[in-house]
Amino acid sequence: VPPKDELIAVHLNAEEVSKVVGADTFYWLSLKGLVEAIGIPRKNLCLGCFTGKYPIS
């Protein structure tokens, strides 16, 4: 994952992102929504790329 300042969503709103990627619509997905969509318990996922908090053994 690139540094945060290189991500498209940092610089554009949802409508602008839709235009750039050629989508009819674009919606933000919360971290909670992502975990629910994956269907794996949060404790079993590494979300470090999203939260900056990486699990340490």
User: Mind listing the pLDDT tens digit of every residue in the chain (57 residues)?
Assistant: 788 889 888 899 999 999 999 999 888 899 999 999 999 999 999 999 889 899 886
Runs of H (alpha helix) within 1-57 = 8-11, 14-21, 31-38, 48-51
Please give the pLDDT value at position 43: 93
8 A C-beta contact, residue 46 and residue 55? yes
